[in-house]
Amino acid sequence: MRAIAFALVALAACNGARSEGFSCWTGSVCEDYGSDLATHEHDCKQLNAEWEKHACPKENLVGTCMTDTHQSRMYYGGAKNAYTADTASASCEHEFHGTWTAATH
């Protein structure tokens, strides 16, 4: 019984570690990363952005942009200078030539 409990705890820890991820914050925009972390961390810091050791949150999410380079950018509302659905979709489509998906609340 202990072996099963230990296996379940270990599995939960592994699943949690995978979902943690890393992220880069630029204003009210967050990008998640799971590979090539050293390069992404360097690039993030070069932009004077905030590199964080967790995935982008779901709270205050306005929507997500899949850019033409296949990078997912999450736009957030709820704070000063935050995005609305209109400003975020415009940024996605015009600046990043991406596909906009509004968040479902």
Looking at per-residue pLDDT, the higher value among 9 and 33 belongs to 33
Residue 11 domain-assigned (yes or no): no
State mean pLDDT over 55-61.
94
Residue 9 domain-assigned (yes or no): no
| Token output for 41 | 């961390």
Residue of 100, 90, 23 whose CA lies nearest to 64: 100
pTM, to two decimals: 0.76
Residue 40 domain-assigned (yes or no): yes
Q: Name the pLDDT band for 11 (thresholds 50, 70, 90).
A: very low
| Token output for 6 | 């230990």
Phi first, then psi: give them for residue 90, nearest 5 degrees. Answer: -65, -45
Residue 2 domain-assigned (yes or no): no
| Token output for 70 | 């296949």
Residue 75 domain-assigned (yes or no): yes
Give residue for tokens 């993030």. Answer: 44
**Domain region containing 73:** 20-102
Q: What percent of the chain has pLDDT over 70?
A: 81
Q: How many domains does the chain contain in total?
A: 1
